[in-house]
Structure 1
Amino acid sequence: MSTKTNGVIHNNNYASIPDLIAKKRDGHELNPDEIEQFISGLTNGDVQDCHVGAMLMAIFIRGMSEKEICSMTMSMRDSGERLKWPNYRGSVVDKHSTGGIGDKISIPLAPALAACQFKVPMMAGRGLGITGGTLDKLESIPGYKTQLSDEQIVELISTVGCGIFSQSLKLNPADRYLYAIRDVTATVPHNALIVSSILSKKSIEDLDALVLDVKYGVSAFMKTAEQAESLAEWLHKVSEMLGMRTCCYITEMNNPIGFCIGNAIEIEESLDLMKYKVGHSKDLEELVCEQVQTIEEGREMIRETFKNGTALEKFHDMIIGQGASKTIADQLLSNDETVVGAILKLAPIQHKALAPQSGFIQSMDSFKLGTIVQRLGGGRLKSTDKIDFSVGIRLLKHIGDEIKENEAWAILYTNDDASTRYSLFLDELHTAICISSTPVAPLQRIHKILL
């Protein structure tokens, strides 16, 4: 039985929602039943937007214990339907990244894992701020559908072995609601809220193992290695409490991953790795091959799927299973760059960025590069913006490479060069590189691994 006072619905068996907010505001721990009451209220109408904002700010200021985070994660997970894989126990795996510039690791990794006989139900996200989204990149493939029914997901995983899709309306509605409010209440960067959001989504997938890539740097949510390590430790602890085997990588995100930044252009780079083409990004390859839990054996298994073409075959079948035509999928497998380019349709106008001096590349500012692509239309400035898949940046050099004065180090792909704003983008691009007069060691991406 419930009653309504002052416009607020109360369950007579529990404290009121304002009472729960006050309890957390005053620094007390919420018990599992209270957390369940609040989360279930998101979907049944007991909790209003003002309540959510107040509770999020109370959590942001007061924090949460491990027990609270675990309870919140489970309540969010159970707010909707869950995937189940009883026939594939021991082989259901996934990977999640906290986001970065040029981070297309999931795109070749999912089919590579499927080629190794794993099942990969990868629930991915869209771009957030300047960080590109895996789903946005995949939608640059004509016909590719990210929104699948539960039945379609089961069919795809059963037949192909992998799928990269969005969170459906039936899966974890509490997280969608909470995240939307976090985004407008300045409560996104908090470990308790980040952990519960990530792990509630991943625990829906009924995984046997999960790899988490926690990034730090100028273009990451965590700015320092210490902040990233703290988040990774929380993710690891709560994963263990949930009974989910998890490995956390802490990786550098001051510099972009690979050679390409954008949507269609990152699909092209992912294909180059899966084809194991001469000149493919070794930076990308190493990160993809490292992100397995049995390091030595797993690394070589993943690399072999690129060399023998089985990862590429799985990618071909996956995109057909998610809506692309067989003709499109066949053409993307071509080694003819013209054929692939005609499908992905990169922006036609190219601007070269030239080195201001000779030397060795010390760094490339991933924040500046990501911002340029976002403002060109490759990312969203507001949630309703439509993505321009065609724009992007292709890097011709990477950290540690030698470069000559006036030598091109990057190409900017745009659809229009008549506007003065493109001159501003080029000016910004030129300032994104730092050149040293002395040799620079190759970039070390992985800072630490928590097993």
Structure 2
Amino acid sequence: MTSVAQTMNVNNHHASIPDLIAKKRDGHELQPDEIKQFISGLSNGDVQDCHVGAMLMAIFIRGMSEKEICSLTMSMRDSGERLKWPHYRGCVVDKHSTGGIGDKISIPLAPALAACDLKVPMMAGRGLGITGGTLDKLESMPGYQTQLTDEKILEQISTVGCGIFSQSLKLNPADRYLYAIRDVTATVPNNALIVSSILSKKSIEDLDALVLDVKYGASAFMKTAEQAEVLAEWLFKVSEMLGMKTCCYITEMNNPIGFCIGNAIEIHESLDLMKYKTGHSKDLEELVCEQGGRLLVLVNKAETIEQGRELIRETFKNGTALKKFHEMIIGQGVSKTIADQLVGDDETVVSSVLKLAHVQHQAIALQTGFIQSIDSFKLGTIVQRLGGGRLKSTDKIDFSIGIRLLKHIGDPVQENEPWAILYANDDAFRRYPKYLEDLNASLHVSSTPVEPLQRIHKVLC
């Protein structure tokens, strides 16, 4: 029996949508014009929800070639408006992370890059499951606006040099539609669909260089380094086909990044780095300097990664990153009074603006030794369950909830010594009575010395 796909002309622009679905179902490669036809059909009414579900499942089972993924990415990118930076060629950059616990890298990175005279139009996302979202963290600052008009984005990037904002309704509507259907058809965990979703959003930004941080571990989407490597290789190949200079980092996400987990508390930690305060997280600093330094190399603003790292670090030491952050948040709606308070030296004032929860519970080590691991999945779940994340999309986040670690991997700890502080309110604790049990269970102590954590597993450049 001859299949529909075999009898079809692969270059037929007028093939029916069911014919295209059948072609992919039977394992054949879709041509660029056929993918464009399918994506265009999302807006003109030719493609219905049932068609999308069937096509997504066919892609999930049969996979896609590099050529198909590139065509899908471009078609999704072109489904709406795009940003253009003709006057800033050679210096427009961004980074994207697949998400993690305590991952606030974008918040100090964007202003640091702007302080190095780069342009950073950073479209960020909200929390997914236990993973905190950059936009949610930024909204813990009173007045911060994540939804900007295209005109405001252009103004922000032109005057300040950086902005961190949400994807507008005019940008990449196909991705929003496809993602919603993927979520209800069990087709989210597919590399072809993940790659096209990530890169279609990033290619809208008209970038000269992109750094991608693909995480693996207990609290990451990819559970093993091998899975993360496969995804990173696809991202790297397709981004290069799209003409973006790209570097992919594969990083560990079994343990939290930095000392803080939550929303307002992660803004506080980001400010500590930008102020280069004594005791700021070296873990966070190294990742920010590494990824920022790599972007400087990719656009020829630094000759080596070592030089790039130091240029980023210097923006924290000399205060220029903090100055750009101050300008950025004012440009996105924070009053000058509040912005001045946030970048000031009075920690009491900073805490009052960010409004951390007043009720605190200390986690106590149950044995003496060296900290071997801190379960980021458990900590992320605690913050989410207490109200610092969403259990369903309509939930309102309590920005005041968070965890501050007092120790990190490799540090010595004594029995009965505090190793973390949990900030929440009495109502939250009553709703989730297991919080202390789960908190204690997240710490693993070794009787022998433990090497400091090595975050970066592999780099693809």
Is this a same-fold pair by TM over 0.5? yes
Cα deviation 1:218-272 (Å, max 9, x = unaligned)? 1101111111011010001001111110000000000000000000000000000
2:353 maps to 1:343: yes
> Which one-letter code corresponds to 2:392 in the other structure?
K
Question: 1: CA distance between counterparts of 2:337 and 2:178?
Answer: 41
Q: Secondary structure of 1:213's partner?
A: strand
Residue type at the aligned position of 2:113: L
Q: Partner letter of residue 266 of structure 1? A: E
2:29 match: 29
Deviation digits for residues 181-203 of structure 1, max 9, x if unmatched? 11121111111011000100000
Question: Considering only aligned residues, what root-mean-square deviation do their CA atoms show, in Å?
Answer: 1.0
Among 347, 353, 369, which residue is 2:379 paired with?
369
Q: What is the percentage of aligned positions where both structures have the same residue?
A: 85
Distance 2:413 2:331 in 1: 44
How far, CA to CA, are the matches of 1:255 and 1:13 in structure 2?
50
**C-alpha distance in 2 between matches for 1:411 and 1:444:** 24
Aligned to 1:324, which of 324, 329, 334? 334
Structure 1 pair 178/345, CA: closer, same or farther in 2 (3 Å)? same
2:250 is aligned to 250
1:83-142 CA distance string (max 9 Å, x none): 000000000000000000000000000000000000000000000111000000000000
Q: Deviations over 1:345-382 (max 9, x none)?
A: 00110011100000000000111100111111111111
Equivalence for 2:403 = 393
**Distance verdict in 2 for CA 1:99–1:418, change over 3 Å:** closer
Equivalence for 1:199: 199
Partner of 2:9: none
Q: Relative to structure 1, is the Cα distance of residues 106 and 419 closer, same or farther in structure 2, using a 3 angstrom cutoff?
A: closer
Find out whether 1:435 has 2:445 as its counterpart: yes
Paired letter, 2:277 = K
Tell me the equivalent position of 1:308: 318
Partner of 1:59: 59
**Structure 2, unaligned stretches of length 5 or more?**
1-11, 298-304
> What residue number does 1:283 align with?
283
Q: Which residues of structure 1 form unaligned runs of 5+?
A: 1-11
Contact 1:346 1:390 (8 Å CA) reproduced: yes
CA distance in 2, matches of 1:119, 1:365: 36
Could you tell me which residue of structure 1 aligns to residue 102 of structure 2?
Answer: 102
**CA distance in 1: counterparts of 2:366 and 2:224, whole angstroms:** 29
Name the CA shift for 1:87/1:373 in 2 (closer, same or farther; >3 Å): same
Distance apart, 1:422 and its partner CA: 3.9
Which digits, 9 at most, give the CA deviation of each residue in 1:297-330, with x for residues without a partner?
A: 1100000000000000000000000000000100
Partner of 1:6: none
State whether residues 349 and 417 of structure 1, in contact with CA within 8 Å, keep that contact through their aligned partners in structure 2.
no
- Aligned counterparts, 1:114-133, within 5 A: 114-133=114-133
How many residue pairs match? The answer is 440
Code of the aligned partner of 2:350: V
Question: Is 1:412 paired with 2:422?
Answer: yes
SS in 2 for 1:96: strand
Q: Which residue of 2 aligns with 1:7?
A: none
Partner Cα separation in structure 2 for residue 89 and residue 350 of structure 1: 49
Structure 2 partner of 1:4: none
1:45 aligns with 2:36: no
CA distance in 2, matches of 1:199, 1:418: 38
Q: Which residue of 2 aligns with 1:185?
A: 185
